[in-house]
């Protein structure tokens, strides 16, 4: 008697598609024949759960199975929901590969192993370059395709052959106690192939160290730590395999006037105490080179912020700009002439305490505390 498909996968009959797929993934990984040295029992179990999954993942097949059971497929000619062409292991392998993809695909594994490494480059920019974007020329020293053998790794006409160390798998296994350790084959560097007449310039690797210059475009609005991916500009792959990628990590130089928080620029502007008291106007240079006029309201206090909208940094991958925030620092004069001192003395004689309400309130609270 055939085993119930739901029991095989260990799911209830009300399980949704996501639950059924997750259950199959787990069981398929545990019982795949490649992980058990071709064990016939594991292969049979793998076929059974693959057959169950193929049925239950299809809404029409699942509906027929729920109504008629295994009898729904007995007259289809093939002994199961796969039809006549799925009598062998290949039919189940196709289902497994469609779910796990590269994870269990030897060809994909070899291509991944032979692929060139990704590279990192730390790119230093001024704040102005980050604001407007820039085209930078950088110098990279890394593995590049060998020019002498045209990246083939061979100087002769003999075609590459399967590596004798790994049998073309690109990986070798070693038993360590109860564990099996798998690593990239040192003989073919994961490509699965070796060359008969290795190039003397690259020892058959198809690549050699080279310094090259590369022009890269930096978009406007990048910030400290922004990562920019340049596809295919990393290290060359083994014997013509795909190259890795280049990753640019942005670092911003310290600016003399501005600090930055996202798209907002922050500046500090010292003003005289007379300007703070009477009001006025100051001009500061913007990040784009334009002059920005800031109106100082009378009575502004040190530390207060003035906002100038649309004068900040460019927005990365967006439109518009952030704001400019200017922190006002009221500066007390340290050098006064005799006449200036006399004028200030006259002003002090006219003070009533109402001119500076914060200090009046502060000293009033002190007097109350001291009982004065």
For the segment 311-353, what is each residue's pLDDT rounded down to a tens digit? 999 999 888 999 999 999 999 988 999 999 999 999 888 887 7
pLDDT of 251-308, one tens digit each? 999 999 999 999 999 999 999 999 999 999 999 999 999 999 999 999 999 999 999 9
Residue 226: the pLDDT is 94
CATH number assigned to the domain with residue range 119-252, chosen from the 4 options 3.40.1480.10, 1.10.3720.10, 2.60.200.30, 2.10.230.10: 2.10.230.10
**CA proximity to 1, closest of 56, 71, 68:** 71
The verdict on whether residue 199 carries a ligand-binding annotation is yes
The verdict on whether residue 39 carries a ligand-binding annotation is no
Residues of the chain with pLDDT under 70: 1-2, 33-38, 73-113, 157-159, 175-179, 189, 355, 357-372
The verdict on whether residue 55 carries a ligand-binding annotation is no
- Burial-class residue 180 by CB neighbours within 10 Å (0-12, 13-18, 19+): exposed
DSSP one-letter code for 242: P
| Cα atoms in the 13 Å half-sphere on the side-chain side of 255 | 21
Same fold, 5-104 and 258-334: no
Cβ atoms of 279 and 298 within 8 Å: the answer is yes
**CA proximity to 206, closest of 257, 171, 154:** 154
8 contacts: CB under 8 Å, gap ≥ 6: 48, 49, 52
Residue 357: the pLDDT is 67
The ranges assigned to domains in the chain are: 5-104, 119-252, 258-334, 340-370
Residue 221: the pLDDT is 95
The verdict on whether residue 149 carries a ligand-binding annotation is yes
CATH number assigned to the domain with residue range 258-334, chosen from the 4 options 3.40.50.2300, 2.60.40.3080, 2.60.260.20, 3.40.30.10: 2.60.260.20
110 contacts: CB under 8 Å, gap ≥ 6: 169, 170, 190, 191, 192
Q: How many helices (H) and strands (E) does the chain have?
A: 10, 15
- Burial-class residue 106 by CB neighbours within 10 Å (0-12, 13-18, 19+): middle
Report, in angstroms and rounded to the nearest whole number, the Rg of the chain calculated over CA atoms.
37
CATH number of the domain at 5-104, please? 1.10.287.110
Which secondary-structure segment (H or E) carries 325? strand 324-331
Beta strand pairing call for 324-331 and 264-272: parallel
77 contacts: CB under 8 Å, gap ≥ 6: 83, 84
The verdict on whether residue 163 carries a ligand-binding annotation is yes
Instruction: Write down the residue that tokens 């196709």 correspond to.
Output: 94
CA distance 314 to 287: 10
Residue 105: the pLDDT is 54
CA angle 210, 213, 218 (to 5 degrees): 135
CA distance 186 to 127: 46
DSSP one-letter code for 334: S
The verdict on whether residue 281 carries a ligand-binding annotation is no
CA angle 351, 356, 359 (to 5 degrees): 110
β-bridge mates for residue 207, sequence order: 145
Residue 32: the pLDDT is 72
């Amino acid at each position: 008697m055939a085993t119930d498909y739901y029991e095989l996968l260990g799911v209830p009959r009300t399980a949704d598609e996501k639950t059924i797929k997750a259950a199959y993934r787990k069981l398929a990984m545990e019982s795949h024949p490649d992980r058990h040295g071709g064990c016939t029992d594991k292969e049979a179990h793998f076929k059974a759960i693959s057959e169950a999954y193929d049925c239950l993942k299809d809404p029409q097949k699942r509906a027929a199975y729920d109504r008629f059971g295994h009898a729904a497929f007995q007259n289809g000619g093939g002994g199961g929901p796969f039809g006549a062409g799925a009598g062998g292991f290949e039919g189940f392998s196709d289902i497994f590969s469609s779910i796990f993809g590269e994870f269990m695909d030897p060809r994909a594994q070899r291509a991944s192993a032979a692929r060139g490494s990704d590279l990192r480059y730390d790119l230093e920019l001024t704040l102005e370059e980050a604001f407007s974007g820039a085209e930078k020329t950088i110098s990279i020293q890394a593995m590049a395709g060998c020019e002498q053998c045209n990246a083939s790794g061979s100087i002769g006409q003999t075609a590459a052959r399967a590596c004798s160390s790994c049998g073309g798998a690109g990986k070798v296994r070693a038993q360590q106690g109860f564990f099996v350790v798998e690593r990239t084959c040192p003989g073919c560097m994961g490509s699965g192939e070796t060359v008969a007449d290795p190039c003397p310039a690259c020892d058959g690797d198809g690549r050699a160290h080279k310094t090259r210059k590369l022009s890269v475009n930096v978009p406007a609005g990048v910030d400290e730590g922004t990562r920019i991916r340049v596809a295919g500009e990393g290290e060359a792959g083994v014997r013509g395999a795909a190259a890795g990628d280049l990753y640019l990590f942005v670092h911003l130089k310290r600016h003399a006037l501005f600090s930055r928080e996202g798209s907002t620029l922050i500046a500090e502007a010292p003003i005289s105490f007379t300007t703070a008291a009477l009001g006025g106007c100051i001009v500061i240079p913007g990040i784009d080179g334009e002059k920005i006029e800031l109106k100082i309201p009378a009575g502004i206090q040190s530390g207060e912020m003035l906002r100038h909208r649309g004068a900040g940094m460019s927005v990365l991958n967006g439109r518009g700009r952030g704001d400019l925030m200017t922190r006002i620092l009221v500066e007390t004069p340290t050098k006064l002439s005799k006449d200036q001192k006399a004028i200030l003395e006259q002003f002090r004689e006219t003070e009533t305490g109402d001119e500076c309400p914060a200090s009046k309130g502060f000293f009033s609270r002190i007097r109350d505390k001291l009982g004065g």
